[in-house]
Amino acid sequence: MPFSTYKEPLGAIIGHELDIMLNVKKPYPPPLRRPAYPAYPASPRARGALEVHIKELIDLGVLRKVGHNEQVEVTTPVIIAWHNGQWRMVGEFRALNTYTIPDKYPITRINETLTQLSQANFITAMDALKGFH
């Protein structure tokens, strides 16, 4: 099954493979530091939604609690209210991105993509359970 729901385990997306190359010559993990940005103010309702999202991701094995003596990169989570009343958790990962080696292949030109889509019967945009983890 290519897509996962909360009740199903996370897995690979069928038909899509992605290799992310990291620069391990830099000191990794980076030294423990405070998040680049302080915690954002949130209403009690938003904070509750954030806690639900974090618990869900811990239960799925995507996140884990970090010990006080671990050397890891941390980020400040942000909870965003969608127009339909649902909540979405996002994180700021610019510090982690400094370890990512840029892709050497150019991005496809938009004209080529639109030409390929011109004969399509259906065009969809899907999120495979919380984006790519």
Q: Name the pTM for this structure.
A: 0.56
Residues 3 and 14: their CA atoms lie apart, in Å, by 9
Report how far residue 39's alpha carbon sits from residue 75's, in angstroms, rounded to the nearest whole number: 9
d(CA 23, CA 47): 35
Residues 5-61 pLDDT 10s:
555 556 656 666 777 777 767 665 555 455 555 667 788 999 999 999 889 888 888
Q: Which residue has the higher pLDDT, 18 or 4?
A: 18
Give the residue ranges of DSSP H helices in 34-109. Answer: 44-59, 94-97
**Which tens digits make up the pLDDT trace of 91-130?**
877 777 777 888 777 777 888 888 888 888 877 766 555 5
* Dist CA 131 CA 115 (whole Å): 26
